Amino acid sequence: MPRFAANLTMLYNELPFLDRFGAAAKSGFQAVEFLFPYDFTAKDIAQRLHDNGLELVLHNLPAGNWAAGERGIACHPGRVGEFREGVLKALEYAALLSPPRMNALAGIAQVGVSEADARKTLVANLKFAADKLGDHGIQLVMEPINTFDIPGFFVNHTAQALAIMDEVGSPNLYLQYDIYHAQRMEGELAATMKQHLARIGHIQLADNPARNEPGTGEINYRFLFEHLDAIGYAGHIGCEYKPRDTSPGGTDAGLGWVQVHGQTL
């Protein structure tokens, strides 16, 4: 049966970030993920994980100026030094947080930079990050993201991501398969996950089109959960969705999808 991780960037948004850990544990989650830890001390986050008996399964490497609209810098030729400094910063946090994997966001293609130069930069940065994280027993994942939500994102299809992974050539680089993004860009969810299961390091979910809870859109999540069991996926599934109920308590109000789809937290 799939194991679910609460994405604390997306869920429990009525609460300050550090208070979301307790809310997730109270709801029944045993694992969490989030985009970034860097606005807080590793000590404070580690304490919340410990106090609430939670496992951290994923967070991202630093991804540039998120508040200004940047969505990663791994494909930006002029910022290789910044990317590599970010990897080292993430490893400082890992000393206390012990995440089993981190995600490298490729970023939005830059105007004036050729696709070939952006790809060359991305490949080199991924190789650097995969090697550095691997030295610490941490898996690196990379994620295709749909270009409806993030226009111009450099990696947006599964086949493209896999080809880049082949070019990197690292045994420590895996695919982060976000069901929502994949549905928007290409569909063929079940067959793709089965075909590439050995290369998938992490899975995330949300329904399409509104990126809300499973059962609010077009994706047959009951089928997919059973399918993931059948093909032997043993990892966590990150609940990276926007609660349809945006009022305080909306995350908990929307968790009925778990039982409706025959699952438990």
Two tokens at 7?
């994405």
Annotated active-site residue 82? The verdict is: no
Annotated active-site residue 240? The verdict is: yes
Check: CB of residue 203 under 8 Å from CB of residue 228: yes
Decide the pairing of beta strands 31-33 and 173-178: unpaired
Contacts for 122 with CB less than 8 Å, ≥ 6 apart: 74, 75, 106, 154, 155, 164
How far, CA to CA in Å, does 170 sit from each of 128, 134, 160? 10, 10, 16
- Catalytic residue (choose from 70, 85, 213, 240): 240
Q: Phi then psi for 144, rounded to 5 degrees? A: -70, 135
- Catalytic residue (choose from 92, 115, 143, 167): 143
The residues carrying an active-site annotation are: 143, 240
